[in-house]
Structure 1
Amino acid sequence: MTARAALRRRLWATVPRRLRLLRAATVLLTAALAVLLLVAGLTSTSTWDSVAGRDAPRTTSAADLNLALNDMDAQAANILLSSGNAGKGRLRTPYDKAVGFYGDARREIGHDLRTLAVAAQGDPADEKTVENLTDDFAQYQELIGRALENDGRADGKASALVDYRRATDLLQRGLLPASRDLVSANDRNFEAEYRSAGSTLSAQLAAVIALGVLLLAVLTVLQVYLTRRFRRVLNPGVLAATVCTLLAVVLGTQVLTAGSDHLRGARRDAFDSVVALSRARAIAYDANADESRYLLDPERRDQYAQSFLAKSQKLYGLKGATLSTYDAELATTWQAYEADHGDLRFTGEFRRELDNITFPGERAAAERTVHTYAVYQRDDRRIRALLAAGKEREAVEFCMDWKPGTSNAHFGAWMAALDQVTDINREHFAASVRAGRSAVSDLLPWAGALLLAAMLLTVLGLRPRLAEFP
């Protein structure tokens, strides 16, 4: 205690020593705050790079792969349905469109697999999943190619159907579950990044406030000491340094607060909806494929009917509903929801989106998606009714045609509505990323400049007072 007291007396014994000690404390605290803001800026920039350049693209690529796999299988079924017997009795427009969409889906899958392979590097589990997907997809293409080849021969439909069954079984048991696992895994990684970044921003904000308050306190002590010791009202240099410091702290806290808000907007408000809607789109394509499979394969009609219902429940869940009761229950629960948006009588991916309405125009777009979905569901019942009445060709034509009022036309309207609400969320995700980056690049340099000015002003403000002493 005696040594400490002696040291304290020596450092604080004379006026010059006191001034130099306060000056050193001010300079060190200012430098520490500047370094903290620099680190916070670099961390924020890295976070936005990860969010926009890695986490979101990985998740959407996996979702796109899931959708393209469903679409490719649906179009393969549509080709077999509309091709006729070696070309005889072919439904020309549905066949040509199915062939075109099939090729588009196959190319999209190849692109997505390459993207995911690059993204998975360094993650053994994801690398293995992508490798298995690539191998299974090669086998799937071989089976579909054999089915289409058999279908091109006279009376080859039965053989083609056997190969198609094997292909779609491989899809349902291997490819689709793996692609869905990739969506979930990448989304979990994004969620972990989001939580970690949020915690870091909160800690940095607390540190900036604490350090800023301490620096302002030291500047205040310095100003009070100068006023009392030298009998002057205020020291201009120290006063200007205090103002600069206060502005720098305000800007720093604004950057970190804005970063946290924009990060939450990107993840919670926008991307959570993008994921739900991307899943909904993939499920929709799989359900649409189940209709084609139902018409194509009489032996599995019960299986595909139940599969269609299960996917409908994932989109708009109605407890205990069957295909015969689904439409009426959908209408009833939707009417209740329109009267009270808190009504919880349905679940599913649509519900996730409707519970996360944030942006202008989003609710109207989301509700329009459900309206078009209801029309498509009623078309499904008509297809099954036509088939039950022995009107198989009429059922196939209504299912596959693209004329206004047909099932494919209504499916296209549903997908257009779904894309619109997805685009709203994608645009706001991109806007949040841009705003988060701008907060760092636009404001932090000013905060750094103000702290440098505060440091120089403190030194210059004390120079005349120190010069008074020999």
Structure 2
Amino acid sequence: MSAVGAAAVLVLVAEVVLGLQEWQYEGRAAGVRERGCDPVVEREGVLLVFQLGMWPREVMSAPLSRARAIAYDANADESRYLLDPQRREQYARSFLAKSQQLYGIRGATLDTYDDGLSTSWRAYETDHHDLRFTGEFRRELDNITFPGERAAAERTVDTYAAYQRDDRKIRALLAAGKEREAVEFCMDWKPGTSNAHFGAWMAALDKVTDINRAHITSSVRDGRSAVSDLLPWTGGLLLAAMALTALGLRPRLAEFR
């Protein structure tokens, strides 16, 4: 085989190696897209960076990030409901709308929401394919990927259900003329109060986020390691191809001297 032919073979091999790199990038990126996130591949710097939630330092699943933001907003609506009598109906509607964003139950009102949640959740626990609800919790349960993630996500819904029951207790106390008791139950952080259950819900949500973050961080680290291993071989093959090309062309160039 001539030097030029050998160089062509080396170039072909280098292209195969680069193709494998691209395949690894795309494979990892596709996995992240399924999580509802946006992967960013920077080829020139040979870096693989995943944009999840708060980029670049915070790495989390976008549905979980949205769920957390909606949760805090709903909790604020609940407090406003107590503190602003003139706008209670407005805040009640807003709280229900955010609840539907998190765990959507078709046609539910605040009076029927708990029963709908309980019925649909029991159906899911019996059959994980029986998903009668929508929203961010449904999005997360549709995209279970990592070991331990399903159990953590289910725990999040359980704690959310407890928080929702507390909301109905607050409204019942207020309707019964027990405004002070309603405010104390809503605002206090003692065990068994609404805020305590809200904190347990957020802790459960953080657990799911931590599972996602740990596995995605590991994937990024593995991707960088794979790229680091392949780059020296790719660079060496290309340099060898250049050298062999120059060697093969040397006799032809000598004819023009």
Range into which the TM-score falls when normalised by the shorter chain: 0.7 to 0.9
Query: Which structure is higher in RCO with an 8 Å CA cutoff and minimum separation 6?
Result: 2
Q: What residue number does 1:256 align with?
A: 22
Deviations along 1:323-375, whole A, 9 cap, x unmatched?
11111110110111122222231000111111011011111111110000000
User: Is contact 1:336–1:343 with CA below 8 Å preserved after alignment?
Assistant: yes
Deviations along 1:286-313, whole A, 9 cap, x unmatched?
1101111000011111111111111000
d(CA) in 2 for partners of 1:459 and 1:280? 60
Cα distance, 1:420 vs structure 2: 1.1
Say whether 1:309 aligns with 2:75: no
d(CA) in 2 for partners of 1:296 and 1:369? 28
* Unpaired runs of at least 5, structure 1: 1-18, 34-211, 213-244, 461-470
d(CA) in 1 for partners of 2:227 and 2:34? 21
Cα distance, 1:392 vs structure 2: 0.4
User: Is contact 2:103–2:138 with CA below 8 Å preserved after alignment?
Assistant: yes
Q: Which amino acid aligns with 2:24?
A: A
d(CA) in 2 for partners of 1:307 and 1:29? 66
Cα distance, 1:263 vs structure 2: 2.0
Say whether 1:396 aligns with 2:183: yes
Q: CA RMSD in A?
A: 2.5
Q: What residue number does 1:24 align with?
A: 4
Pick from 221, 240, 253: which aligns with 1:434? 221
Cα gap change, 1:343 to 1:333, in 2 (>3 Å):
same
Q: What residue number does 1:192 align with?
A: none
Q: Which amino acid aligns with 2:4?
A: A
Pick from 118, 124, 127: which aligns with 1:337? 124
What TM-score does the superposition give when structure 1 sets the normalisation length?
0.45
Deviations along 1:415-452, whole A, 9 cap, x unmatched?
00111111222222322322222222221212332454
Q: Which moved more, 1:249-258 or 1:388-397?
A: 249-258
Cα gap change, 1:451 to 1:457, in 2 (>3 Å):
same
Pick from 131, 136, 144: which aligns with 1:357? 144
User: Is contact 1:266–1:432 with CA below 8 Å preserved after alignment?
Assistant: no
Q: Which amino acid aligns with 1:347?
A: T
Q: Which amino acid aligns with 1:377?
A: Q
Deviations along 1:73-113, whole A, 9 cap, x unmatched?
xxxxxxxxxxxxxxxxxxxxxxxxxxxxxxxxxxxxxxxxx
Cα gap change, 1:290 to 1:298, in 2 (>3 Å):
same
Pick from 361, 376, 386: which aligns with 2:173? 386
User: Is contact 1:368–1:417 with CA below 8 Å preserved after alignment?
Assistant: yes
Q: What residue number does 2:164 align with?
A: 377
User: Is contact 1:287–1:307 with CA below 8 Å preserved after alignment?
Assistant: yes
User: Is contact 1:274–1:422 with CA below 8 Å preserved after alignment?
Assistant: yes
Cα gap change, 1:270 to 1:438, in 2 (>3 Å):
farther
d(CA) in 1 for partners of 2:243 and 2:89? 81
d(CA) in 2 for partners of 1:283 and 1:352? 14
Secondary structure at 1:382 match in 2: helix
Deviations along 1:33-56, whole A, 9 cap, x unmatched?
3xxxxxxxxxxxxxxxxxxxxxxx
Q: What residue number does 1:446 align with?
A: 233
Q: Which amino acid aligns with 1:268?
A: E
What TM-score does the superposition give when structure 2 sets the normalisation length?
0.80
Q: What residue number does 1:419 align with?
A: 206
How many pairs align?
227
User: Is contact 2:105–2:117 with CA below 8 Å preserved after alignment?
Assistant: yes
Q: For residues 67-106 of structure 1, what are the structure 2 equivalents within 5 Å?
A: none
Say whether 1:293 aligns with 2:80: yes
Q: What residue number does 1:265 align with?
A: 31
* Unpaired runs of at least 5, structure 2: 38-51, 53-59, 248-257
Larger radius of gyration: 1
Q: Which amino acid aligns with 1:257?
A: W
Q: Which moved more, 1:448-457 or 1:386-395?
A: 448-457
Q: Which amino acid aligns with 2:92?
A: A
Say whether 1:407 aligns with 2:194: yes
Cα gap change, 1:390 to 1:314, in 2 (>3 Å):
same
User: Is contact 2:4–2:245 with CA below 8 Å preserved after alignment?
Assistant: no
d(CA) in 1 for partners of 2:213 and 2:79? 31
d(CA) in 2 for partners of 1:269 and 1:449? 37
